[in-house]
Structure 1
């Protein structure tokens, strides 16, 4: 069962029974109260547990007055100037609870990741000559079959049919981008990106790694390439959310100079587990 994507009162909304959540992904207009009321009605009708909204600074007071709490903050998310917030409303209060052991794990990952921090200037590491990075699409459209197969093996559940090559082509048409790390022609790590030229930012949506190559920190080289390409096109900010109990990716982003923005509690279904997600961001100004 996949997420629905629709426009509600000018906002771009993802929602579905997998995550049991409404995600307001884009919104930037004056009538915040109407938008807040509409997405809450949707969440109640569908019996979702959580609403999470990504909003600019101008809307934060309206959301907080309706009981939303700030879970993460990204300075300069919008055009390198305006702060962005991830705010949450838990319609089911049990969704806001997190076991003490899980909270300790989240704190441990965060502490170790922050201890590994480098500046973005000091994060370069030469890629082994056996590896190559390709942007998938255009002349590399034939490689989308390999990406679809990698996605199918990697994810037991996902809010969108990313194991379907035709859906990946739809995402390309919507402006999404894919990068792949190859070894001797085999796709071993891939990334899904969502650039937003109007906001001058890039969201790193996901990483997918061949199970035979996990634990080798190979996503490091893709992050390196994403930073380079984002800077070349004049984008101001890169941001992502990664599983809060995963040492690998949290450390990788910290080593690349990303800053910790906050934790989205019990936010995303990964496999069979509702996971909290750490938000990381990098200013390219």
Structure 2
């Protein structure tokens, strides 16, 4: 059943499909995101498990930042302009509701500009730091997609342009963050972030990434991104508070930590920060 809804920011046509337990936004003008709280309330009222929006290209990022996911495209849908089909799963049995809820709660909090300070020393890693860095990864990650617990691998990565920043308690490596730099494409992936459990709560990941960003900007690398474990609140929160923008989720993407996990995409343009 197609219904017409409107508020101060948007008018839209919604197909409330009680048979298939879904709501489809088939057309709209204005800020479609302004309707999402009301639509979510309607979905829960009727036990609906899935929301679908036929999205204009200009609204892609706004949908991604509200944990909608792209599932397809309809060519020429808007008077010859393509529509992206974005979805949000409302019920646990239809998709990753807990991970979506974590992001929703995160986005509702104000970004904190300053990381908590502590007296731990932070500096750029050298090849001689590879054994201590490998020990850190061996302690934090039972399973990881790359052989980061091998000092030889880390030395080779540094030799090829990867940058690591480390935090120390005395001479002990207690946290790290890395940047896999691609000078040909002019981007870098923030990766290999780890903190020993007993040193969490000092904003070390945020401080290390901030140091990496300064290094990258000086090298003329402005486009950075990170692929973070969707189940890790701490890592996603660190990126959010560093003003990274959420850009979607890679489902069942890689074997990491203990099992095959979903990974969230976060992006930032350092030239604007």
Correspondence for 1:184 among 153, 159, 170: 170
- What SS class does the counterpart of residue 134 from structure 1 fall into? strand
| Partner residue in 2 for 1:104 | 97
Deviation at 1:248, TM superposition (A): 1.0
* Contact 2:123/2:165 (8 A) holds in 1: yes
Deviation at 1:154, TM superposition (A): 1.5
- What SS class does the counterpart of residue 169 from structure 1 fall into? helix
Deviation at 1:229, TM superposition (A): 1.6
Q: How does 1:113-152 map to 2 (within 5 A)?
A: 113-116=106-109, 118=111, 123-125=113-115, 127-128=117-118, 130-137=119-126, 141-152=127-138
- What SS class does the counterpart of residue 96 from structure 2 fall into? helix
Q: How does 1:167-246 map to 2 (within 5 A)?
A: 167-246=153-232
Q: Separation in 2 of the partners of 1:210 and 1:259?
A: 26
Q: Separation in 1 of the partners of 2:253 and 2:150?
A: 24
Deviation at 1:104, TM superposition (A): 1.5
Q: Separation in 2 of the partners of 1:247 and 1:101?
A: 22
Q: Separation in 2 of the partners of 1:101 and 1:148?
A: 39
TM-score (norm. length: structure 1): 0.59
- Structure 1 segments of 4+ aligned residues over 6 angstroms from their partners: none
Q: Separation in 2 of the partners of 1:249 and 1:148?
A: 20
Larger RCO (CA within 8 A; separation ≥ 6)? 1
Query: Aligned in 2, Cα 1:270/1:215: closer, same or farther, shift over 3 Å?
Result: farther
Task: Deviation per CA, 1:241-278: give whole Å up to 9, x if none.
Answer: 11112111111111111100100011121233211111
Q: Separation in 2 of the partners of 1:115 and 1:230?
A: 29
* Contact 1:117/1:257 (8 A) holds in 2: no
* Contact 1:267/1:276 (8 A) holds in 2: yes
Query: Aligned in 2, Cα 1:125/1:159: closer, same or farther, shift over 3 Å?
Result: closer
Q: Separation in 2 of the partners of 1:244 and 1:223?
A: 18
Matched, 1:263 2:249: yes
Deviation at 1:147, TM superposition (A): 0.5
Q: Separation in 2 of the partners of 1:245 and 1:268?
A: 13
Task: Deviation per CA, 1:216-256: give whole Å up to 9, x if none.
Answer: 43211112112222222221211001111211111111111
Q: Separation in 2 of the partners of 1:253 and 1:272?
A: 22
Q: Separation in 1 of the partners of 2:195 and 2:177?
A: 9
Query: Aligned in 2, Cα 1:172/1:136: closer, same or farther, shift over 3 Å?
Result: same
* Contact 2:145/2:254 (8 A) holds in 1: no
Aligned-residue Cα RMSD (Å) equals 2.4
* Contact 1:109/1:246 (8 A) holds in 2: no
* Contact 2:182/2:188 (8 A) holds in 1: yes
